[in-house]
Amino acid sequence: MSGAGGDAAALGGGLPGLEAVGRAAGRWDRVAYGAALAFVALLYANPMYWFPWFEPLRLGFVSMGLCGVAVLAHRITAGERVRTGGAWSAPLLLYLALFPLSLLWTIHVPLTRAAMIEAFKMAVVFVAMQNALDGRARLRGFLLVAAVASLGPALGGVWVWVTGDHLIEGYRTHWRGLYGDANRLAMSLVAVLPAALYGLLTARRGRVRLLFAGVVAAQLAAIVLTHSRSGAVAAALAVLLYLFRGRGAAVRGPVAVVALAGGLVLLAPQSFWARSASISQYADDASVEGRRHAWLVLDGIVAERPLTGVGAGAFLPAWGRYAPLEAGGHRYVAHNVPLEILGELGIPALILFATFVLALMVRLWRAGADPLVGPEARAVFAGLAGYLVCELVNGYSLSWFLYFLFACAAAAIHVAALRRRSQAEPEA
């Protein structure tokens, strides 16, 4: 290696040798992984909510941008191509490409431009993070950091409820900034609830197990106190999907987690049960009435613009043209990701997005049976499944949480595919 590097330097008039290039590639690789960890930690912990002087620094965006730059630099110096997920991820990238394209037909150019920028950020998250998490150990580290960082909004939500600080509707907890919406707080915690369970059930040291038991308890408590019906259903689904799939799963761990969840449910306030019971009384639910009006707007959009929608990010301005008179002056988002996509970008966009999600979930389910990366893949699958359930009644198609889960899924699928290929090579 050193001889080849010396020859390269001599011939290149002082160009760095091969060894130097290899060291540079390794450094950029480590920077990319560190930036990915910083991104997810900042996304959940949000130090600017505790120390306002952090906010102008925009550390979350900086860490994500650094991750993207480092991935690109690593791939260039290592002489490797940047992975985008393979052919099965092409529908997602084509779907994201429709955001700038919709400037050609949008009914609100400023909002579409803003949505286009957000879509670019989601593309960076999806591509950069799957390249940074290129091994089982890295994926495990990312999931565990995300779970621990979620203590920020989880404990924040519990604290808001205990102190009664401006509770939504008088009884629903929330946190700050991005988590100021009770449903979004619940969704964000559902996304990494299986990651916390994974940490609890795979930790070897008692102190670490105790830490993750506390994380799981805080997450479940905050979800319950948000009184989010979709969040409660999604949390139950995520727990069940993670605990009761896999070969040779230990019995004591799942039993302990179920007992913990059962205890929290029994201690839930009466308002939680009252709101949960209203699931069967949707006809009298004010929030459902707002959703019905939003879906009537969608019906008008599809009838008039089935192939294009009204333009990315332009669903709310469409109310002036498509809303029924009974809706009054209230405007609502679509409250459903498939319907949001359909209304803003049309039927082709919905087909692309749905095709990607289906292909991803099938491959991720198969990766869950892999002896190497199976536990991590199952945690990602459960978190993503729970988050998608929340998306069906809330609707945030450009969500940091959704896209980092997509990236984690792509990373797990890649690791499982590498192992299969390495096993097949000797036979060939």
Please provide the DSSP assignment of 205-217 as one string: SHHHHHHHHHHHH
Global pTM reads: 0.88
- pLDDT reported for residue 258: 62
Q: Do 174 and 302 fall within a single domain?
A: yes
Residue 208, pLDDT above cutoff 50: yes
Mean pLDDT, residues 133-159 taken together = 96
Alpha helix ranges (H) inside 309-399? 319-322, 337-367, 374-391
DSSP bridge partners of 112:
none
Task: Tell which of 52, 82, 112 closes a domain.
Answer: 82
Q: Do 78 and 94 fall within a single domain?
A: no
- pLDDT reported for residue 391: 92
d(CA 236, CA 245): 14
Mean pLDDT, residues 44-62 taken together = 82
Question: Encoding tokens for residue 141?
Answer: 């580290």
Count the domains in the chain. Answer: 2
- pLDDT reported for residue 296: 81
Q: Do 273 and 419 fall within a single domain?
A: yes
| pLDDT band with cut points at 50, 70 and 90 for residue 272 | low
Q: Do 18 and 110 fall within a single domain?
A: no
- pLDDT reported for residue 14: 46
Q: Do 184 and 225 fall within a single domain?
A: yes
| pLDDT band with cut points at 50, 70 and 90 for residue 7 | very low
d(CA 215, CA 217): 5
Within 8 A by CB and 6+ apart from 264, the residues are 217, 220, 221, 224
Of the listed ranges 84-98, 125-139, 181-195, 291-305, the least confidently predicted one is 291-305
Question: Encoding tokens for residue 407?
Answer: 């990236």
Q: Do 378 and 267 fall within a single domain?
A: yes
State residue 168 phi and psi, 5-degree precision.
-70, 130
d(CA 199, CA 317): 44
Question: Encoding tokens for residue 332?
Answer: 């609502």
- pLDDT reported for residue 425: 65
pLDDT tens digits, 94-136: 999 999 999 999 999 999 999 999 999 999 999 999 999 999 9
In angstroms and rounded to an integer, the radius of gyration of the C-alpha atoms of the chain is 23
Q: Do 234 and 125 fall within a single domain?
A: yes
| CB count in 10 Å sphere of residue 140 | 19
Cα dihedral across residues 127, 132, 135, 139: positive or negative? negative
Residue 3, pLDDT above cutoff 50: no
- Give the three-state DSSP class for 51: coil
pLDDT tens digits, 293-340: 777 888 889 999 999 999 999 988 888 888 765 665 566 666 789 989
| Cβ burial, residue 292 (10 Å; 0-12/13-18/19+) | middle
Task: Tell which of 35, 51, 82 closes a domain.
Answer: 82
Q: Do 389 and 402 fall within a single domain?
A: yes
Task: Tell which of 33, 56, 82 closes a domain.
Answer: 82
DSSP bridge partners of 168:
172
**Mean pLDDT, the chain, integer:** 85
Q: Do 100 and 49 fall within a single domain?
A: no
Q: Do 115 and 263 fall within a single domain?
A: yes
d(CA 406, CA 127): 10
Q: Do 46 and 154 fall within a single domain?
A: no
- pLDDT reported for residue 254: 60
Q: Which of 413, 411, 405 is nearest to 364 (CA)?
A: 413
- pLDDT reported for residue 191: 97
Residue 11, pLDDT above cutoff 70: no
Q: Do 53 and 178 fall within a single domain?
A: no
Note down the domain range covering 22. Answer: 1-82
Cβ–Cβ under 8 Å, residues 101 and 2 = no
Mean pLDDT, residues 259-283 taken together = 58
